[in-house]
Chains A and B, each alone.
Chain A
Amino acid sequence: MSNNANHHLMSPAMKMADLMDLDFSLLGVATRMGLCFGFGEATVAEECAQRGIDPETFLLICRVYAIEGYRPTRETLENANLQDIVKYLHQSHAYYMDVVVPELAGALEQTIEPCENRQKKVIWKFFADYKEELSKHFAYEEGKVFPYVEAVLGARKDRQFTIGEYEENHSNVEEKLADLKNLIMKYIPHQCGQQDVYRVLFYIYSLEEDLNKHTFIEDGILVPMVGRMEGHE
């Protein structure tokens, strides 16, 4: 099925279970938005209504995940619900830090167990530094960017920030993760268990892919939406 077909297929009137079946990365989107599996025959609109989510905004996020290179139109952005976007980003942060990173850490710890001590130490330190940086990056968004978006939504004037300042790039955390991927793939000592290494790489690839989409939702959706609201004041 072509991406374009996916695009048109995604509608509030379709069954939630059918939507999920288009691309399995959508399972993660649904759980982060608080939807509950056991969808039965409920439509996307019905499921979203139950959780108080705007179905078009939910579908917008789904398209980012399921359609490679998807770029929303201006009109789509004008109609999207900013609060739902922030909710999604916030839940994603929690998912990365509370679920993915600990899973990756566990897999990595087990993988490097057979290595020499100095190798273990240096790989682990690299990972710990990455984790720290990722956590700081999220903390900045949680502590500074999201409260600011709330302030814009509430039309409060007591703010000392504009969304333009948040054009801060994500390149550093991305580079570190890419380095970790290459170090494991190309230079992990051969005595490590192959299934363990596979599991580590699997987590890294999933995280990398997910973070790419996440970054796009921040830079390509959140920033222009907030920027437009700032302009309207």
Chain B
Amino acid sequence: MFADLGEFEVCGILQDLPGSVEIQLRTLAPDIIIADPSICDFSSRGSLKTRIAEYTDAAVLAFATQPLEEDILKQFDGCIGLLDPPTAVIRKVRTAMEQRSETPRSEGEELSQREKEILICVAKGMLNKEIADLYNISIYTVITHRKNITRKTGIKTVAGLTVYALLNNLIDMNSVE
């Protein structure tokens, strides 16, 4: 449907949220993600957008394969229904795109929760491998997080990140020495 209109390009189709999808989200750098909330179990459905936002600042539309509760829906930038005609779908995607460009990077340049966790590990002197094992993520992902931390804070050295963590109350003195 999207390909026919020439306006959008499908840059990837991802299967399941946990696992390698995180890396793909980052490398594909999509503008729009259409996700079926029912891929998550009930307990984590409400935080799907937040989890996606950790990896990309794309707008996220829900694809409602089954009826969704209001408080699940409100996190998304729009909702596409199973029975929506193509014109409605296109309109919804366009609207989401426009809203996204009006509010660029809503979470700004603040560190994400995961970045903070990794920063704390770095400040404590942990190696990339140890951090990867602790959070059950790949070293590649740890390195990407560290690059983003440095990009956002402007701080490159481990010693500098330790000072940052302490000034921002992420760690206390005891965990450094």
Q: Which of A118, A176, A180, A189 contacts B173 (CB 8 A)?
A: A118
Q: How does the 8 Å CB contact mask read for B165-177 relative to A, with 1 for contact and 0 for none?
A: 0111000110010
The B107-155 residues at the A interface (CB cut-off 8 A) are 153-155
Q: Which residue of B lies closest to A118 (CB)?
A: B173
Closest CB in chain A relative to B72 CB, distance in Å: 37
Q: Label chain A's interface by main secondary structure.
A: helix
Q: Do B166 and A183 touch (CB < 8 A)?
A: no
List CB contacts (< 8 Å) of A117-157 with chain B.
Answer: 118-119, 121-123, 126, 129
B19 within 8 A of A: no
**Which has the most chain B C-beta neighbours within 10 Å: A122, A123, A175, A189?**
A122
**Which residues of chain B come closer than 8 Å to A119, judged between CB atoms?**
166-167
Contact of B156 among A126, A129, A178 (CB under 8 A): A178
* Contact residues in A for B153 (Cβ distance below 8 Å): 182, 186
Q: Which residue of A lies closest to B156 (CB)?
A: A175
Given A118-B173, A119-B167, A122-B162, A186–B154 Cβ distance below 8 Å? yes
Number of A-B contacts (CB under 8 A): 52
Q: A118-B172, A121-B173, A186-B153 are in contact. Are A179 and B167 (CB under 8 A)?
A: no
Size bracket, chain B contacts: 10 to 19
* A38 CA to B152 CA, complexed, in Å: 48
Taking the complex as formed, is B157 at the interface, i.e. its CB lies under 8 A from any CB of chain A? yes
B residues within 8 A CB of A179? 154-157, 159-160, 163
Report yes or no: A176 in contact with B159, Cβ–Cβ below 8 A: yes
Tell me the minimal C-beta distance from A69 to chain B in angstroms.
Answer: 24
Q: Answer yes or no: B164 CB below 8 A from chain A CBs.
A: yes
Query: Contacting B155 at CB < 8 Å: which of A121, A123, A183, A188?
Result: A183
A123 to B173, CA, bound (A): 12
Shortest distance between the CB of B174 and any CB in chain A (Å): 9
- Indicate which residue in B156, B157, B163 contacts A122 across the interface (CB closer than 8 Å): B163
- CB pair A189–B167 under 8 Å, yes or no, is yes
Q: Check if A176 sits within 8 Å of B157, measured CB to CB.
A: yes
A187 to B166, CA, bound (A): 10
Is the CB–CB distance between B159 and A129 below 8 Å?
yes
Rounded to whole Å, the gap between the CB of B31 and the closest CB of chain A is 30
What's the Cα separation between A48 and B49 when bound, in Å? 69
Interface residues of A in 171-194 (CB under 8 A from B): 175-176, 178-180, 182-183, 186-189
Name A189's closest neighbour in chain B (CB-CB): B167
A residues less than 8 Å from B164 (CB atoms): 183, 187
Taking a contact as CB atoms under 8 Å apart, the answer to whether A126 and B173 are in contact is: no
Q: Which listed residue, B155, B168, B172, B176, touches A182 by the CB 8 Å rule?
A: B155
Q: Do A118 and B166 contact each other (CB < 8 Å), given the known contacts A179-B155, A186-B153? A: yes
B residues 29-44 in Cβ contact with A at 8 Å = none
Contact across chains for A176 and B167 when beta carbons are under 8 A apart:
no
Closest to A117 in B: B173
Q: A118-B173, A121-B173 are in contact. Are A187 and B167 (CB under 8 A)?
A: yes
Name which residue of chain B comes closest to A130, CB basis. Answer: B159
Q: Are A122 and B154 in contact (CB under 8 A)?
A: no
Question: B residues near A, CB below 8 A?
Answer: 153-157, 159-160, 162-164, 166-168, 172-173, 176
